[in-house]
Amino acid sequence: MQLLDGKATSQQIKDELHVSVQSRKESGKKIPHLAAVLVGNDGGSLTYVNAKVKACEQIGFESSLIQYDDNVSEEELLAKIIELNNDDEVDGFIVQLPLPEHIDELKITMAIDPIKDVDGFHPENLGKMMLNLPAFLPATPAGILELIKRNNIDTSGKDCVVIGRSNIVGMPLSIMLSRNTNPGNCTVTLMHSRTKDLKQKVREADIIIAAIGRPGFVTEDMVKEGAVVIDVGTTRVVDESKKNGWALKGDVDFENVASKCSYITPVPGGVGPMTIASLMINTLKSMDLRNK
Ligand code: NAP
């Protein structure tokens, strides 16, 4: 079994991006600027946004964090998005999800100028992704593909199950792995809560990707010998041995599954850091898309 070390791979990517930024600086070009909008005080969202801002600092990107209380109105948030769309200094921006219930996430996503949509959630970017045209790719699926690529895992012709069909992970990932690209060329089964015979189908897969948010859902009996297992799940579970009282748990029962796999991602330290690395790749890409 080989561990797919997302932390080390993402550091490697950040180092490469740092070199690119330095060379942009030396040739007098603009340094990419990523802005992040955060609404409310959710601990998880705050942690993710802080990690994104920190990654910008490490690489040498400029960054700004715009914070609102939970009770910000949809109108105020939309006005900020229009402002960021028109701010030539900002090359890309994200609005950290989830948003409070009184705000329509789709309306917010649709308001972002696709050319600054470094999260790759706008329908224009998702459509281009489907057609394999240049676009911002959604960060988590793109990070998973990068991890697969950098570990020379052959996906062509493989049977892959993606468990979970969210718009930000499972659904786009199923398309990206189906495309005629490398990594890609998989035969993908996209699974969800209505899937019948799920366990049996997972057991037949060469590549298993779990993105449902149910700790330990994928058990040893569901994994065939030599499978590649990618765990996207990150659920906070009570852990009194930790200083903060919780630990992050993945969707895979890592302890019992690992020995059966050819490759497996840990949680934490697998997909999470790769998501941030992809966002940073998209931020640099924004310079090309905007001809800067
Ligand atoms: P989500 O919106 O929470 O949706 C969960 C998906 O799982 C749904 O499609 C649901 O099916 C499916 N599901 C739930 N229970 C199931 C079951 N028993 N059998 C089969 N399918 C089931 O998904 P998400 O936003 O992608 O989040 C999933 C997990 O990934 C969470 O733990 C989240 O924290 C984590 N995540 C991690 C990263 C990272 O960078 N590491 C990024 C994003 C998300 P239905 O559609 O039928 O309801």
CATH of the domain at 181: 3.40.50.720
Domain identity same for 84 and 181 = no
At residue 21, the pLDDT reads 96
In a domain, 287, yes or no: no
Domain identity same for 238 and 156 = yes
Domain identity same for 195 and 81 = no
Q: How far is CA 238 from CA 33, 233, 245, in A?
A: 37, 16, 6
Q: Which domain holds residue 90?
A: 29-113
Q: How far is the CA of 218 from the centre of ligand 1 (A)?
A: 13
Domain identity same for 145 and 258 = yes
At residue 292, the pLDDT reads 75
In a domain, 146, yes or no: yes
In a domain, 44, yes or no: yes
The closest of 291, 272, 280, 292 to 136, measured between CA atoms, is 280
Provide the domain count of the chain: 2
Domain identity same for 183 and 77 = no
At residue 291, the pLDDT reads 75
In a domain, 11, yes or no: no
Domain identity same for 164 and 91 = no
CATH of the domain at 93: 3.40.50.10860
Band (43; pLDDT cuts 50, 70, 90): confident
In a domain, 23, yes or no: no
In a domain, 218, yes or no: yes
Give the whole-angstrom CA distance, residue 160 versus residue 202. Answer: 8
Give the whole-angstrom CA distance, residue 176 versus residue 29. Answer: 32
Domain identity same for 176 and 220 = yes
**Sequence-separated (6 or more) residues with CB below 8 Å from residue 58:** 14, 18
- The ligand 1 site (C-beta within 6 Å) comprises 140, 163-166, 168-170, 191-195, 198, 211-214, 232-235, 271-272, 275
Domain identity same for 143 and 109 = no
Pocket perturbation via mutation, ligand 1, pick of 169, 279, 280 by most ligand atoms within 8 A of CB:
169
Q: How far is the CA of 231 from the centre of ligand 1 (A)?
A: 11
What is the rounded average pLDDT of the residues 77-83?
A: 98
Q: Mind listing the pLDDT tens digit for each residue in 101-126?
A: 999 999 999 999 999 999 999 999 99
Instruction: Select which of 5, 117, 119, 206 is catalytic.
Output: 119
Domain identity same for 149 and 239 = yes
Domain identity same for 106 and 148 = no
Q: Mind listing the pLDDT tens digit for each residue in 208-265?
A: 999 999 999 999 999 999 999 999 999 999 999 999 999 999 999 999 999 999 999 9
Domain identity same for 67 and 153 = no
Query: Tokens 């931020």 identify what position?
Result: 283
Domain identity same for 159 and 205 = yes
Instruction: Identify whether the C-beta of residue 148 lies closer than 8 Å to the C-beta of residue 184.
Output: no
pTM reported for the whole predicted model: 0.97
In a domain, 2, yes or no: no
